[in-house]
Structure 1
Amino acid sequence: MLVPAMKLASVLLWSYAIVLVVFWVRAVAAQDRKSHVGHFIELLACLVPLSCALVAMVMVGAVIGIPSVVGFLFILLPAGVVVALSLEVRRVEGASDTLESWRLGLALCLAIGVIAGRGGI
Protein backbone atom coordinates (compact mmCIF):
# COMPACT_ATOMS: atom_id res chain seq x y z
CA MET A 1 0.00 0.00 0.00
CA LEU A 2 2.88 2.36 0.71
CA VAL A 3 4.61 1.90 -2.66
CA PRO A 4 1.65 3.09 -4.80
CA ALA A 5 1.24 6.12 -2.52
CA MET A 6 4.94 6.91 -2.91
CA LYS A 7 4.66 6.53 -6.70
CA LEU A 8 1.66 8.85 -6.78
CA ALA A 9 3.43 11.45 -4.65
CA SER A 10 6.52 11.21 -6.83
CA VAL A 11 4.52 11.63 -10.06
CA LEU A 12 2.69 14.62 -8.60
CA LEU A 13 5.93 16.24 -7.43
CA TRP A 14 7.75 15.65 -10.72
CA SER A 15 4.76 17.04 -12.63
CA TYR A 16 4.80 20.15 -10.47
CA ALA A 17 8.57 20.44 -10.98
CA ILE A 18 8.10 20.34 -14.77
CA VAL A 19 5.46 23.07 -14.59
CA LEU A 20 7.73 25.17 -12.37
CA VAL A 21 10.66 24.73 -14.78
CA VAL A 22 8.51 26.07 -17.61
CA PHE A 23 7.42 29.07 -15.55
CA TRP A 24 11.00 29.69 -14.36
CA VAL A 25 12.34 29.62 -17.93
CA ARG A 26 9.61 32.00 -19.06
CA ALA A 27 10.28 34.37 -16.15
CA VAL A 28 14.04 34.35 -16.70
CA ALA A 29 13.62 34.78 -20.46
CA ALA A 30 11.64 37.95 -19.79
CA GLN A 31 14.57 39.38 -17.82
CA ASP A 32 17.63 41.10 -19.26
CA ARG A 33 20.01 38.68 -21.00
CA LYS A 34 22.86 39.71 -18.72
CA SER A 35 21.03 38.30 -15.71
CA HIS A 36 20.33 34.82 -17.11
CA VAL A 37 23.52 33.25 -15.77
CA GLY A 38 22.94 34.83 -12.37
CA HIS A 39 19.43 33.39 -12.19
CA PHE A 40 20.75 29.94 -13.10
CA ILE A 41 23.46 30.14 -10.43
CA GLU A 42 20.88 31.18 -7.84
CA LEU A 43 18.74 28.20 -8.81
CA LEU A 44 21.74 25.90 -8.38
CA ALA A 45 22.45 27.51 -5.01
CA CYS A 46 18.91 26.61 -3.92
CA LEU A 47 19.61 23.00 -4.91
CA VAL A 48 22.73 22.70 -2.71
CA PRO A 49 20.81 21.87 0.50
CA LEU A 50 18.93 19.19 -1.43
CA SER A 51 22.19 17.63 -2.57
CA CYS A 52 23.53 17.64 0.97
CA ALA A 53 20.34 16.07 2.31
CA LEU A 54 20.42 13.33 -0.32
CA VAL A 55 24.05 12.46 0.41
CA ALA A 56 23.40 12.51 4.17
CA MET A 57 20.38 10.26 3.76
CA VAL A 58 22.36 7.74 1.71
CA MET A 59 25.20 7.77 4.24
CA VAL A 60 22.87 7.37 7.22
CA GLY A 61 20.99 4.62 5.41
CA ALA A 62 24.26 2.80 4.73
CA VAL A 63 25.52 3.15 8.30
CA ILE A 64 22.27 2.26 10.04
CA GLY A 65 21.26 -0.26 7.41
CA ILE A 66 17.90 1.15 6.38
CA PRO A 67 16.76 -0.95 3.42
CA SER A 68 14.07 1.52 2.32
CA VAL A 69 16.37 4.51 1.84
CA VAL A 70 15.61 4.39 -1.89
CA GLY A 71 11.94 4.92 -1.10
CA PHE A 72 12.75 8.02 0.90
CA LEU A 73 14.94 9.32 -1.92
CA PHE A 74 12.08 8.62 -4.31
CA ILE A 75 10.10 11.36 -2.54
CA LEU A 76 12.88 13.60 -1.22
CA LEU A 77 14.48 14.31 -4.60
CA PRO A 78 11.42 15.70 -6.39
CA ALA A 79 10.29 17.49 -3.23
CA GLY A 80 13.62 19.29 -2.97
CA VAL A 81 13.55 20.23 -6.64
CA VAL A 82 10.02 21.59 -6.23
CA VAL A 83 11.00 23.65 -3.19
CA ALA A 84 14.05 25.12 -4.95
CA LEU A 85 12.13 25.93 -8.12
CA SER A 86 9.21 27.35 -6.18
CA LEU A 87 11.49 29.68 -4.25
CA GLU A 88 13.20 30.85 -7.41
CA VAL A 89 10.00 31.32 -9.40
CA ARG A 90 8.51 33.36 -6.58
CA ARG A 91 11.69 35.42 -6.33
CA VAL A 92 11.91 36.11 -10.07
CA GLU A 93 8.28 36.76 -10.96
CA GLY A 94 6.62 37.49 -7.62
CA ALA A 95 4.01 35.71 -5.54
CA SER A 96 0.41 35.39 -6.63
CA ASP A 97 -2.12 32.96 -5.17
CA THR A 98 -4.12 32.72 -8.39
CA LEU A 99 -1.00 31.97 -10.43
CA GLU A 100 0.09 29.38 -7.89
CA SER A 101 -3.29 27.64 -8.07
CA TRP A 102 -3.02 27.71 -11.88
CA ARG A 103 0.39 26.02 -11.66
CA LEU A 104 -0.94 23.38 -9.27
CA GLY A 105 -3.86 22.70 -11.61
CA LEU A 106 -1.51 22.29 -14.56
CA ALA A 107 0.67 19.93 -12.55
CA LEU A 108 -2.35 17.88 -11.54
CA CYS A 109 -3.51 17.62 -15.17
CA LEU A 110 -0.01 16.58 -16.23
CA ALA A 111 0.16 13.97 -13.48
CA ILE A 112 -3.25 12.58 -14.45
CA GLY A 113 -2.07 12.38 -18.06
CA VAL A 114 1.08 10.53 -17.04
CA ILE A 115 -0.81 8.11 -14.83
CA ALA A 116 -3.44 7.48 -17.52
CA GLY A 117 -0.74 7.01 -20.15
CA ARG A 118 1.02 4.42 -18.02
CA GLY A 119 -2.20 2.57 -17.27
CA GLY A 120 -2.30 3.43 -13.57
CA ILE A 121 0.05 3.46 -10.65
Structure 2
Amino acid sequence: MLKFKKYIPFANRVLIRRSNPETKTRGGIIIPEAQQAEVNYGVVVAAGPGLTFTNGVLRDIAVKVGETVLLPSYAGTKIKLGDEQEYWVYRDDDIIGTLEEPVDAKAAKK
Protein backbone atom coordinates (compact mmCIF):
# COMPACT_ATOMS: atom_id res chain seq x y z
CA MET A 1 0.00 0.00 0.00
CA LEU A 2 1.36 3.39 -0.95
CA LYS A 3 1.59 5.96 1.81
CA PHE A 4 1.70 9.64 1.10
CA LYS A 5 2.94 12.39 3.35
CA LYS A 6 0.46 15.11 2.48
CA TYR A 7 -2.97 15.44 0.89
CA ILE A 8 -4.09 18.69 -0.73
CA PRO A 9 -7.86 18.83 -1.37
CA PHE A 10 -9.18 20.12 -4.70
CA ALA A 11 -12.36 22.08 -5.33
CA ASN A 12 -14.91 21.65 -2.51
CA ARG A 13 -13.16 18.75 -0.74
CA VAL A 14 -12.31 18.89 2.97
CA LEU A 15 -9.86 16.66 4.88
CA ILE A 16 -11.15 15.69 8.35
CA ARG A 17 -9.46 13.96 11.28
CA ARG A 18 -12.31 12.25 13.11
CA SER A 19 -12.28 12.39 16.88
CA ASN A 20 -11.70 9.16 18.79
CA PRO A 21 -14.65 7.55 20.57
CA GLU A 22 -14.79 7.64 24.35
CA THR A 23 -13.10 4.51 25.70
CA LYS A 24 -13.52 5.25 29.38
CA THR A 25 -16.25 6.87 31.48
CA ARG A 26 -15.53 9.77 33.83
CA GLY A 27 -15.62 7.26 36.68
CA GLY A 28 -12.87 5.18 35.04
CA ILE A 29 -14.97 2.32 33.71
CA ILE A 30 -13.63 1.01 30.39
CA ILE A 31 -16.27 0.94 27.67
CA PRO A 32 -16.22 -2.23 25.50
CA GLU A 33 -15.48 -1.56 21.84
CA ALA A 34 -18.88 -2.90 20.77
CA GLN A 35 -20.62 -0.34 23.01
CA GLN A 36 -18.58 2.70 21.99
CA ALA A 37 -20.66 5.26 20.16
CA GLU A 38 -19.79 6.03 16.56
CA VAL A 39 -18.03 9.36 16.36
CA ASN A 40 -19.76 11.75 14.00
CA TYR A 41 -17.55 14.79 14.40
CA GLY A 42 -13.98 15.76 13.67
CA VAL A 43 -11.52 18.57 13.04
CA VAL A 44 -10.87 20.14 9.63
CA VAL A 45 -7.22 19.55 8.70
CA ALA A 46 -7.22 20.94 5.15
CA ALA A 47 -9.72 22.41 2.72
CA GLY A 48 -9.78 23.09 -1.00
CA PRO A 49 -10.38 26.56 -2.46
CA GLY A 50 -14.06 26.01 -3.21
CA LEU A 51 -16.33 24.96 -6.05
CA THR A 52 -16.11 26.79 -9.38
CA PHE A 53 -19.40 26.98 -11.24
CA THR A 54 -19.60 26.76 -15.05
CA ASN A 55 -19.97 30.55 -15.26
CA GLY A 56 -16.59 30.97 -13.50
CA VAL A 57 -17.94 32.08 -10.11
CA LEU A 58 -16.11 30.55 -7.13
CA ARG A 59 -18.15 29.46 -4.11
CA ASP A 60 -15.87 29.41 -1.07
CA ILE A 61 -15.68 26.49 1.35
CA ALA A 62 -18.02 26.99 4.32
CA VAL A 63 -15.58 25.65 6.95
CA LYS A 64 -12.08 26.66 8.02
CA VAL A 65 -9.05 24.64 9.07
CA GLY A 66 -9.18 23.94 12.81
CA GLU A 67 -12.98 24.00 13.13
CA THR A 68 -14.83 21.05 14.67
CA VAL A 69 -17.57 19.86 12.34
CA LEU A 70 -20.57 17.54 12.53
CA LEU A 71 -20.39 14.75 9.94
CA PRO A 72 -22.98 12.51 8.28
CA SER A 73 -22.96 8.80 9.12
CA TYR A 74 -22.65 7.46 5.58
CA ALA A 75 -20.39 9.68 3.51
CA GLY A 76 -16.76 10.45 2.99
CA THR A 77 -13.73 8.50 1.85
CA LYS A 78 -11.24 7.09 4.34
CA ILE A 79 -7.52 7.59 3.61
CA LYS A 80 -4.37 6.86 5.59
CA LEU A 81 -1.39 9.20 5.33
CA GLY A 82 2.27 8.68 6.23
CA ASP A 83 1.70 9.58 9.90
CA GLU A 84 -0.38 6.35 10.21
CA GLN A 85 -3.54 8.26 11.18
CA GLU A 86 -6.86 7.79 9.43
CA TYR A 87 -8.40 10.80 7.75
CA TRP A 88 -11.67 11.26 5.89
CA VAL A 89 -12.33 13.31 2.77
CA TYR A 90 -15.77 14.94 2.46
CA ARG A 91 -17.38 17.42 0.12
CA ASP A 92 -18.18 20.60 2.00
CA ASP A 93 -21.84 20.10 1.00
CA ASP A 94 -21.87 16.85 3.01
CA ILE A 95 -20.74 18.50 6.26
CA ILE A 96 -23.76 19.12 8.48
CA GLY A 97 -22.41 22.07 10.49
CA THR A 98 -19.80 23.32 12.92
CA LEU A 99 -19.62 22.57 16.64
CA GLU A 100 -18.50 25.08 19.25
CA GLU A 101 -17.37 24.78 22.86
CA PRO A 102 -18.11 21.32 24.25
CA VAL A 103 -20.48 21.35 27.20
CA ASP A 104 -19.50 19.61 30.44
CA ALA A 105 -22.29 17.15 31.30
CA LYS A 106 -22.29 18.18 34.97
CA ALA A 107 -22.53 21.88 34.12
CA ALA A 108 -25.39 21.22 31.68
CA LYS A 109 -27.54 19.62 34.40
CA LYS A 110 -27.34 22.66 36.68
TM-score scaled by structure 2? 0.23
Which has a greater percent of helix? Answer: 1
Which has a greater percent of strand? Answer: 2
Higher relative contact order (CA 8 A, sep 6+): 1
TM-score scaled by structure 1? 0.22
